[in-house]
Amino acid sequence: DAGVIQSPRHEVTEMGQEVTLRCKPISGHNSLFWYRQTMMRGLELLIYFNNNVPIDDSGMPEDRFSAKMPNASFSTLKIQPSEPRDSAVYFCASSLDRTSHEQFFGPGTRLTVL
Amino acid sequence: GENVEQHPSTLSVQEGDSAVIKCTYSDSASNYFPWYKQELGKGPQLIIDIRSNVGEKKDQRIAVTLNKTAKHFSLHITETQPEDSAVYFCAASTGTASKLTFGTGTRLQVTL
């Protein structure tokens, strides 16, 4: 299995631009998580899905952030408009289901907003 | 919500020595406590976990202990090797869903 796949691995954009991060979970996994990692705040859960349905989005910082999961094999995290304080590493993780706690992380997307 | 504190933030040990990382949690309903290892440029990877019905769990050189009364759990690495150098995160979950709350991380440096 290829593991969780994220793209792009690196993204540099200018303030105000739209950014879309992509994630392909492990095949057969029903839960998907988006995290943000910064030096100041550590690993923060932004949102998670179960069976393609958003379960908890309380970690989404503000309306500029949105996430979708149109099918079991694909999810996006969009930031519009982006701001310099959004610069971070964004991780996607998947787990087998809601009762299976082990989460498998992707390699992350390093986002820099100038 | 759950709050997880982790200490120390950095830890340097000599190869062959032991390393101990400690975490405390706030939600008494938490019943699942994993530890993740993150190497440079990679995502965190689960190395060991423990559930609240167990006090200690061991896997080769790695062990985790849990004290539910005191609401703290610890990671013990014995006979450390240079490849153990990484950032380690503890986490806690109430178990009703897969949602994890992570600690702030410990950067472990194993020196020769």
A31 touches B at CB < 8 Å: yes
CA dist., res. A78 & res. A70, Å (int)? 14
The whole-number pLDDT of residue B94 equals 81
- Is A98's Cβ below 8 Å from some Cβ in B? yes
Average pLDDT (A12-39) is 96
Decide if pLDDT at A1 tops 70.
Answer: no
Closest CA to B90 of B40, B29, B39, B32: B32
Q: What is the residue-averaged pLDDT of chain B?
A: 93
Cβ–Cβ gap B43/A105 under 8 Å = yes
What rounded mean pLDDT belongs to chain A? 93
State residue B71's pLDDT score. 94
Residues B47-56 have pLDDT tens digits of 999 988 778 9
Q: Which residue does chain B place closest to A30, by CA atoms? A: B98
- Is A42 an 8 Å CB contact of chain B? yes
Chain A neighbors of B98, CB-CB under 8 A: 31, 33, 48, 95, 97-101, 103
Q: Which residues of A91-113 are buried (b: 16+ CB within 10 A; e: fewer)?
A: bbbbbbebeebebbbbbbbbbeb
- DSSP letter for A97, please: S
> In angstroms, rounded to a whole number, what is the distance separating the alpha carbons of residues A43 and B7?
16
Please report the pLDDT score of residue A11 as a whole number. 97
Q: Is the pLDDT of residue A99 over 80?
A: no
First to last CA, chain B: 41
Encode pLDDT of B14-30 as tens digits. 999 999 999 999 999 89
- What one-character-per-residue DSSP string does A2-69 give? ---EEE-SEEEE-TT--EEEEEEPPTT--EEEEEEEETTTEEEEEEEEETTEEEE-TT--STTEEEEE
Predicted confidence (pLDDT) per residue in A40-64, tens digit: 888 999 999 999 999 989 899 889 9
Neighbours of B98 (CB within 10 A): 25
pLDDT tops 90 at residue B82:
yes
- Indicate the SS3 state at residue A85: helix
> A90 — contact with chain B (CB < 8 Å)?
no
